[in-house]
Amino acid sequence: MISLLPAYEETFVLTLSNEEVAHRIRHVTSMQREEERTILFNGWEKEYRIKIGLRHKRPSNYNPIISGKVERTSHGSILFMRYQLMPNLRLMLVFWLLLLVLGSVIISFQYKNVAYLLAGAGLIALVYWIVWSNFQLQRKAARQVLLDVLS
């Protein structure tokens, strides 16, 4: 499915059993705000399904939520993952993009000038590009930490 909001899907084929993958993720994941150095993710792992986010010392709005599931294969396991923006950031992005579209259309019709419509489209493209690039930076960091846990 094509999503207009920043998201990314990925599949890992692992030689580890699905029990071992779940154990490794569970070992570095917590739902509490504890300050242990071994806890790398906030979230949960239940019945070979995960929903985690990389832990940061400071809040990061573009930190992706990683949701996925682990499936058993004859020689290991497969980890299906989907990286998405946090729900509050998705809501704010949609709200401001719709507000920019609506505002630029109204102002363009009010003053009968297409330049305002083009300026609104430019602002929309700029906001989307900023969100997308920051999401990709945070996704790569979270992916690397997850790979380190699973290797």
Answer whether residue 1 shows pLDDT above 60.
Answer: no
Answer whether residue 143 shows pLDDT above 70.
Answer: yes
What does the buried/exposed string (b/e) look like for 4-13 if buried means 16 or more CB atoms within 10 Å of the residue's CB? eebbbeeebe
- pLDDT computed for residue 56 by the predictor: 83
| Tokens encoding 129 | 């590009």
Q: Are 146 and 8 in contact (CB under 8 A)?
A: no
Number of other CB atoms surrounding residue 65 within 10 Å: 20
> pLDDT tens digits for 58-78?
888 889 999 999 999 999 999
> pLDDT tens digits for 10-57?
999 999 999 999 999 999 998 776 666 678 899 999 999 999 999 888
- pLDDT computed for residue 58 by the predictor: 81
